[in-house]
Amino acid sequence: MPSVIHLTSYEKIYPSFEPVELIVRLYSDSTKDIDEVVLRYESLANVLKEIKVEEIFDLRNVRKFGYISIFSNYGGFFIYSSLKKNNALTLEHTF
């Protein structure tokens, strides 16, 4: 099941003049352990617009469900996640 994090930003409203850091955490139904990845970018322009979850986490321990939290030093992100299964697509927004 490909899950993708979609990152958008409004740099004209929320300018950034420093490196950007994303802290991505994966919570799983099968363990209380929390996996964490820190992604660092030299500038907002270098931040990937899409990040495939399976490329940054080992998902073998997620049996039934999991969820992701994202923290950043840049406050202008609008982040969505998508999950594709068979012919269905789910889109979730962050808050």
Dist CA 77 CA 72 (whole Å): 9
pLDDT bucket at 83, cuts 50 / 70 / 90:
confident
Here the tokens at position 57 are: 């986490």
Q: What domain range includes position 26?
A: 3-93
pTM: 0.86
Read off the pLDDT of residues 1-44 as tens digits, 9 standing for 90 and up: 578 999 999 889 999 999 999 999 999 888 788 999 999 999 99
Give the total number of structural domains in the chain. 1
Helices marked H in the chain — which ranges? 53-56
Give pairs for 57-64: CB < 8 Å, separation 24+. Answer: 57/24, 57/26, 61/28, 61/30, 61/31, 62/26, 62/28, 62/29, 62/30, 63/28, 63/29, 63/30, 64/29, 64/30
